[in-house]
Structure 1
Amino acid sequence: MTPLVERLHLPTLSVSSLTTRLFFASVVLLPVLLGFSATMLDYAFKLSLETAERDALRSQVYLLLGVAEPGDTTLEMPPALTEPRFGELNSGLYGWIVDGEGHVVWQSRSTDLIPSDYFPTLTTPFEAGVKDFFSSQFNADDFYLMTYDTVWPIAGKDTEFRFVVAHSQADLKAILAAYRERLLVWVVGLAVLLVLVQTLIARWGLQPLRRLARDLERVEAGKSQSLSGQYPADIRPVTENLNKVLRAEQAQRERYRNTLGDLAHSLKTPLSVVRGQLETADSNQQEIMPVVDDQISRMSMIIDHQLRRASAQVTQNAVYARVLVKPLIERLTGAMQKVYRHKNLKIDVNINKDLPFSGDEGDLMEMAGNLIENACKYGASHVVISASIVGNDLKIHIEDDGPGVPDTIKSTILTRGARADTATSGQGIGLSVAVDILSSYGGSLQISRSSLGGASFNLSLPAYTNA
């Protein structure tokens, strides 16, 4: 993300974005919630099936009770019942009656092909008037059973009988399996739909933040001076405060520029007058002219230096558009070729044409210009300038084939006013200007031995600076 957005600590849309977090939260939580809901629905459906089965078996028991008649020795049942499944072989619905001693006194025709020991003896204690519903397994088959204990007068004696109705669970299991299949499809489909809907809602809800990030990028690129457009009330205080900060920063920069311009004009005009008067001085004053002229030049250079330093400090938090490095370097080398044409210098520029610098064009020209001029001044015949992005840094290397810089004075020449060659005219502040401006960008300057045999000045500054 761009430096301005990072500096303002605004949320960014990346792998760790709010949308992504909401998406993964949905992916984690929805299965839990939907799984719990599906379990409850499955339990409720199964319970409703068992309740319906209990009611159905109770009706079947009442049917048997309604048609039973006391006989001479036991209960008698009609040959055909109104429930046809009692008369169908292996229908899954079975009925029988046992007496108090556990002997089967009647069983439905549906049990004719079933071995007599298929249904085990019911051993629960006999208790007249009690109905019991339960699930049991006979020979690996699951059944629901309903029993009803009653007393009938047989031959003038109260006799205990237990009416039993059993129904296979196969049909209910098939219904439950089909329901679970449909439930799984619906739950999965609902989960996917909810994730998609929540993702769309999150993207729609976070759209103002994306628009804010784009507007900040436009401000950083110099395409806009403030955050424009309508924002939701929730983030409107943020945008209004950001606009206040931007307006205050722009106004402060303008005030400093005006003040610095006035200072430069106020100081340089008297110096120009003095220089003009010296040029018209009589012969008696000609002998002091070189000294005065040198001091005037020194004063002018010091003023320029201090103005640049102040400007670099003022604009430290400014927002700039990208500057292409190669065209600027080529302009500087073209000027140096003219200044040092007597040396017939060969200047190689090895820089990608699209390599950007995020900062003030004048700052880059000042930094690179001082170092390129230094290389041309002290180089013998060859200067090589290269630049590239290494990690998050912009690296610029300026090499020459001159005498180089001794290790003992590498740190000294970067000090204000210090020079390695006192025989050459100059004020010795060019390198310190470069270092001051470079420091304002959080960069650094190192001096090493060049592969050409001379000095190599290596600039390093953030590729996307906070400048």
Structure 2
Amino acid sequence: MIRSLRLRLMLAAALLALLFMLALLPALQKAFSLALQESIEQRLASDVTTLISAARIEHGRLHMPTLLPDERYNLPYTGLLGYIFDREGRLVWRSRATSDQNINYRPRYDGRGNEFARIRQDDGEEFFIYDVEVQLLGGKSAAFSIVALQPVREYQHTLDGLREKLYLGFGAALLALMVLLWAGLTWGLRSLRQLSVELDEVEAGVRDGLSREHPRELLRLTGSLNRLLHSEREQRQRYRDSLDDLAHSLKTPLAVLQGVGESMGQGSGEREQARVLQSQIERMSQQIDYQLQRASLRKSGLVRHRVILRPLLETLCSTLDKVYRDKRVSVELDIAQQAWVPMEQGALLELLGNLLENAYRLSLGRVRVGLETPPGRLVLCIEDDGPGVPPDQRERILQRGERLDRQHPGQGIGLAVVKDIIDSYDAELSLDDSPLGGAAFRIVFHLD
């Protein structure tokens, strides 16, 4: 399938131009043929006139001069064929050029005066013939048919030459037309290229919307896209504000409940109830944090981001080194300096923070982060040398909609947030064994 609009228009225009020329060629050839035949007819009529002017009748018999006014009749190889027949159809005179010709022709005295026709001989050769009936000096017995002929091969040779030139001319015209069409389409589609550039800038976050410096046919499209962008931003902001308000309204009652639980725990008979209450309050707080993170880390529908990976990893590893300084974890970053991933920075920070924190917490002393770039993809891999994840637990952990915090209360929401972020960017998360001995989390980004 051809995905280029300019190439589609170019091919369509080329096809239409070719069909037009193919339809025009026969008409032009016919016109050339008719014009050439008319020219031959006029020439033969002129030759007949020359013979008529030279003919004389003496004592009822035709006399032709030895030398005719047109010198071509006087030479044997000029190809000027002239014949004169009497009323009974007997040949009474022929030009010198006909000495080696045996033309099988008999005139018809039908009162039409003159006739232009095309005849074929027994050997297959064809001739154009112009036949004029005349009564010299007005005598009935002095009626003659004066005939001039021309071989059709001369006409055919001329027509073939014209046809060849016509094909060459049409080919050159078609090539020139294609060049002009390409230039015209390039100029005409310049506004679409500018629109594409602006969309790329919107996706990259360089600009907030599309300009109005486009042809009026595109203004409705750009206006709709701008309204969509504005509506998306407002909706996302309202969503975040609502969740922030909800979190703020719930935090205070939760704090009060937590304080009540601590007070209840001071009594010996109520310690078990206090422990249950504290556990549920912590569970509710985790759920609030989780929903807030889901709302804030969703990617935008039209804006695409790119974040340089290595500086962000170095910052996270520096922070985790301080948290797990007793472990003295060795981190290997197998990532180029300018390597990037197609994510918003906040989402990438949350994703890497959760995965690296798990790797630090479960490792025995080694963590490795690598980035591979197979065609059309980016593969980010975070490995550790810890105990790993049992094979029978991997499918449940990575299943869409499955969250560790619901299956195991009090264990955190890290992988659930990671899975939601990855799903929102149409990426894929897989869990395998690492050559280091522990788990290997692989995230695959598909590049458009």
Aligned residues of 1:30 and 1:191 also touching (Cα < 8 A): yes
Q: 1:418 to 1:333 in 2, by over 3 A?
A: farther
Q: Does 1:307 align with 2:295?
A: no
- Residue aligning to 1:32: 19
- Residue aligning to 2:179: 196
Aligned residues of 2:297 and 2:346 also touching (Cα < 8 A): no
- C-alpha distance in 1, partners of 2:2/2:178? 17
Unmatched tracts of structure 2, length 5 or more:
none
- C-alpha distance in 2, partners of 1:419/1:396? 27
- Residue aligning to 2:189: 206
Q: Where do residues 331-346 of structure 1 align in structure 2 (5 Å cutoff)?
A: 331-346=315-330
Q: Of residues 299, 309, 320 in structure 2, which corresponds to 1:325?
A: 309
Q: 1:217, CA displacement in angstroms?
A: 0.5
Once the two structures are overlaid, the 10-residue window that deviates more, 358-367 or 442-451, is 442-451
Aligned residues of 1:418 and 1:428 also touching (Cα < 8 A): no
- C-alpha distance in 2, partners of 1:42/1:301? 86
Aligned residues of 1:355 and 1:388 also touching (Cα < 8 A): no
Aligned residues of 2:387 and 2:439 also touching (Cα < 8 A): yes
Query: What SS does the aligned partner of 1:245 have?
Result: helix
Q: Where do residues 273-312 of structure 1 align in structure 2 (5 Å cutoff)?
A: 299-312=284-297
Once the two structures are overlaid, the 10-residue window that deviates more, 160-169 or 183-192, is 160-169
Q: 1:237, CA displacement in angstroms?
A: 0.7
Query: What SS does the aligned partner of 1:347 have?
Result: strand
Post-superposition Cα deviations, 1:206-240, rounded to whole Å, max 9, x if no partner, equal 22211111111100000000001411111111111
Post-superposition Cα deviations, 1:346-392, rounded to whole Å, max 9, x if no partner, equal 11122233332222212122122111111111111211222224454
Amino acid at match of 2:416: S
Q: 1:262, CA displacement in angstroms?
A: 3.7
Post-superposition Cα deviations, 1:413-459, rounded to whole Å, max 9, x if no partner, equal 55242678x9xxx6332212212222222334332222222222222
Q: Where do residues 426-445 of structure 1 align in structure 2 (5 Å cutoff)?
A: 427-445=411-429
Query: What SS does the aligned partner of 1:343 have?
Result: coil
Once the two structures are overlaid, the 10-residue window that deviates more, 241-250 or 197-206, is 197-206
Q: 1:136, CA displacement in angstroms?
A: 4.1
- Residue aligning to 2:79: 92
- C-alpha distance in 2, partners of 1:387/1:144? 85
Q: Does 1:236 align with 2:224?
A: no
Q: Where do residues 400-419 of structure 1 align in structure 2 (5 Å cutoff)?
A: 400-413=384-397, 415-417=403-405
Amino acid at match of 1:308: Q
- C-alpha distance in 2, partners of 1:204/1:307? 49
Once the two structures are overlaid, the 10-residue window that deviates more, 182-191 or 195-204, is 182-191
Q: Where do residues 337-356 of structure 1 align in structure 2 (5 Å cutoff)?
A: 337-356=321-340
Query: What SS does the aligned partner of 1:335 have?
Result: helix
Q: 1:58 to 1:411 in 2, by over 3 A?
A: closer
Q: 1:393 to 1:174 in 2, by over 3 A?
A: closer
Q: 1:445 to 1:339 in 2, by over 3 A?
A: same
- C-alpha distance in 1, partners of 2:36/2:396? 94
Amino acid at match of 2:317: T
The TM-score, its normalising length taken from structure 1, stands at 0.81
Q: 1:249 to 1:157 in 2, by over 3 A?
A: closer
Q: Where do residues 252-271 of structure 1 align in structure 2 (5 Å cutoff)?
A: 252-268=235-251
Q: Of residues 352, 371, 380 in structure 2, which corresponds to 1:387?
A: 371
Give the RMSD, CA atoms, in angstroms.
3.6
- C-alpha distance in 2, partners of 1:317/1:66? 95
Post-superposition Cα deviations, 1:164-196, rounded to whole Å, max 9, x if no partner, equal 112345665565455344433322221111111
Unmatched tracts of structure 1, length 5 or more:
1-13
Query: What SS does the aligned partner of 1:445 have?
Result: strand
The aligned length equals: 440
Aligned residues of 1:144 and 1:168 also touching (Cα < 8 A): yes
Q: Does 1:147 align with 2:131?
A: yes
Percent of aligned pairs sharing the same letter: 34
Aligned residues of 2:85 and 2:107 also touching (Cα < 8 A): no
Q: Does 1:449 align with 2:438?
A: no
Once the two structures are overlaid, the 10-residue window that deviates more, 242-251 or 334-343, is 334-343
